[in-house]
Structure 1
Amino acid sequence: MSDAIADAKRALRAELRERRQLITPQARELAEAGIRDQLDALVAEHGARSISCFLSTTTEPGTRSFVTDAVARGIRVLLPVTRTDGLLDWAVATDDGDIAEGMFGLPEPVGELLGPIAVNDVDLLIIPAASVDCSGMRLGWGRGFYDKTLGSMERCPPVYAVVFDSEFVDQVPSDELDQPVTGVVTPTRTITLAPSRR
């Protein structure tokens, strides 16, 4: 990755972090309700019975009520658990599952770990992002967990990144290691950018 691209990514992430800090609690609540509705419709559209999702932090578009509802409806939801080798492990979400602080302070499930390849069996991946552009390029938070996961999957199902409306932009800085997404989910809309990744 060139220094210019790395610098552009760092600057954009810092700006996005700052913007997310300024969102009011009321706006966060509305955003979470919108994300839940959009993700419910996406799951139904794909007929997904097994998905991966993530437990949102306090500054991310909220996914927790969606996860809770999906589990209650009998959908198998895999939640990521970070590992020191840069890969993601996975655990099945349960309605009474404990949540602990994982690496980097991220909320992660406590429970049986299924290994990195467990995600190969899902019908739909729902992943976090800092920003996504019109071509489907995703800017993550710089640790590469999702890029490694997506890049290693033999058969990758549709991948949708969750962002706030203002974070779906014309272009994000990217390099050859960055993995594109199929679409983007915001509190007000779901946009499919490509029929499938591969």
Structure 2
Amino acid sequence: MAGPGSDLDATHEWTKDQWRAALLQRRRRVPASVRFAEAMQLTALLTSGNVLRRGQTLCAYVPIGSEPGSVQMLDDVADHGVRILLPIVMGPGPLDWAWYYGRDSLRPGPYGLQQPIGELLGQAALRIADAVLVPALGVDRGGVRLGRGAGFYDRSLSIAAPDTPLIAVVRDQEIVDRLPAESHDVRMTAALTPGRGLVALR
């Protein structure tokens, strides 16, 4: 698959902005009922023991708009005995982190994000994660991730321990053959999709 639509020329070279526009347009067409079902599927995968185990720490995020997942998914994973760190945007630098204590502990943040109100743990808190879920519009089979363009995750993920799984959360069809890459892009080790589960990359 060379692009996000069946009507595209398979040899067409897309820019990141073109990919973002096309993938966002496709996401906006996903019905609420499908998003709900996908969140349930992702929850089942995250609590199955194949991604992480009870007592481990997951760096996650609160999905916004049509992103796969839900706040309920975070609650269910936490109820399964997994500790959850959520990102906090603090200026242009790497993300800060705080523990997730349920949806009542969230407040609005920049870019339409929902962020925890707990104690800031610092950028290096990412190093205690046993796995990191990373929001993505798409990811390719070599691990190149397409985000929304703000660059927060690319500035942050290099802080993670070298062997920490970096997992892009996307829909099944958002794993593509090749995306445009830049030298600062941090590559994902896997993708998590509702239908295909955990897919190894690289």
Q: Secondary structure at the match of 1:28?
A: helix
Aligned to 2:146: 139
How far residue 99 of structure 1 moved from its aligned partner, in angstroms, is: 1.6
CA offsets 1:39-81 (integer angstroms, 9 cap, x no match): 223x545436111011101210014222101222221100011
Is 2:99 the partner of 1:92? yes
Residue among 40, 53, 57 paired with 1:47: 53
Aligned to 1:186: 193
- The 2-side partners of 1:180 and 1:173 are apart by 12
1:110 aligned partner, one-letter code: I
Count of matched residue pairs: 187
1:136 aligned partner, one-letter code: G
Residues 1:154 and 1:191: Cα distance change in structure 2 (over 3 Å): closer
How far residue 84 of structure 1 moved from its aligned partner, in angstroms, is: 0.6
Whether the aligned pair in 1 keeps the contact of 2:130 and 2:164 (CA below 8 Å) is yes
Aligned to 1:58: 65
Whether the aligned pair in 1 keeps the contact of 2:92 and 2:152 (CA below 8 Å) is no
How far residue 145 of structure 1 moved from its aligned partner, in angstroms, is: 0.9
Whether the aligned pair in 2 keeps the contact of 1:125 and 1:157 (CA below 8 Å) is yes
User: Higher helix fraction: Structure 1 or Structure 2?
Assistant: 1
After superposing on structure 2, the runs of 4+ consecutive aligned residues of structure 1 that deviate more than 6 Å are: none
Aligned to 1:8: 15
- The 2-side partners of 1:141 and 1:77 are apart by 23
Whether the aligned pair in 2 keeps the contact of 1:38 and 1:186 (CA below 8 Å) is no
Aligned to 1:153: 160
Is 2:168 the partner of 1:168? no
How far residue 155 of structure 1 moved from its aligned partner, in angstroms, is: 3.1
- The 1-side partners of 2:47 and 2:151 are apart by 27
Residue among 71, 78, 86 paired with 1:79: 86
What TM-score comes out, normalization by structure 1 length?
A: 0.87
Aligned to 1:124: 131
CA offsets 1:93-133 (integer angstroms, 9 cap, x no match): 11354222211111212221111111101111111011000
- The 2-side partners of 1:156 and 1:141 are apart by 25
Residues 1:96 and 1:164: Cα distance change in structure 2 (over 3 Å): closer
* Higher mean C-alpha displacement, 147-156 vs 120-129: 147-156
What TM-score comes out, normalization by structure 2 length?
A: 0.86
2:107 aligned partner, one-letter code: A
How far residue 156 of structure 1 moved from its aligned partner, in angstroms, is: 4.5
1:117 aligned partner, one-letter code: A
Is 2:127 the partner of 1:104? no
- The 1-side partners of 2:193 and 2:145 are apart by 14
Residues 1:96 and 1:185: Cα distance change in structure 2 (over 3 Å): closer
Could you tell me which runs of 5 or more consecutive residues in structure 2 were left unpaired when the two chains were aligned.
1-13
Instruction: Say what the alpha-carbon RMSD is for the aligned residues.
Output: 1.7
Whether the aligned pair in 1 keeps the contact of 2:53 and 2:82 (CA below 8 Å) is no
Could you tell me which runs of 5 or more consecutive residues in structure 1 were left unpaired when the two chains were aligned.
1-6
How far residue 149 of structure 1 moved from its aligned partner, in angstroms, is: 1.1
- The 2-side partners of 1:45 and 1:25 are apart by 26
